[in-house]
Amino acid sequence: MLPAASPGGGRRRWTTGEASPSEKRPRDPEDSEPGSSDDDDSGSGSDGDFVSDLREIVCLLRLIKGGANKDGQKKCAQIITSVAEDIQTMLEDTKLKFEKERQNLLKVLSNTSKECESSLSKEYIKFQETYEMFCKEKDEHVQAFRDLFSKVEVEKRTLLEQYENHSE
């Protein structure tokens, strides 16, 4: 486990009674970098080992993070591809349903149109028959009116002649 950073600096200062990480675990000469020595009187060698270990840990963490990011990107790409395929499937299903509904609507409209056309034809025939009957009856009534008017005119003349004969 990494030591916690102190608020004033990057490294934690060890209090008396605590052992630094390099003191807790003795270093093997194979683990140490060439050129570093553990025999320094100042203790800078152990600090160098500690810094080297931290650098190695940070480097490994970066590698792990990079791998995780790549795995995450691959998973995201797979999820996006899967969702895109699902959306495409749903879109195609919707198109098929829409086309079926459109075909059904066209059939219904066609049938309704034929029924309306048939009904209009029947009503037009009835209208034509009624119109012809009206025209025939109108002609008969007009003729009857003319005949009656002629009779009235004849009667009127006759009455006028009688009046004139009586008045003389």
Flag the least confident range among 9-13, 67-71, 160-164.
Answer: 9-13
Q: How far apart are CA 119 and CA 132, in angstroms?
A: 20
Q: How far apart are CA 30 and CA 47, in angstroms?
A: 17
pLDDT of amino acid 158: 93
Q: How far apart are CA 119 and CA 116, in angstroms?
A: 5
The pTM score is 0.38
pLDDT of amino acid 8: 46
Q: Taking residues 44-64, report their average pLDDT.
A: 81
Domain boundaries, the chain: 21-167
Phi, psi (degrees; rounded to nearest 5) at 38? -90, 0
**Tokens of residue 86, six digits:** 């699902």
pLDDT of amino acid 68: 75
Q: How far apart are CA 5 and CA 12, in angstroms?
A: 5
Q: Taking residues 99-111, report their average pLDDT.
A: 96
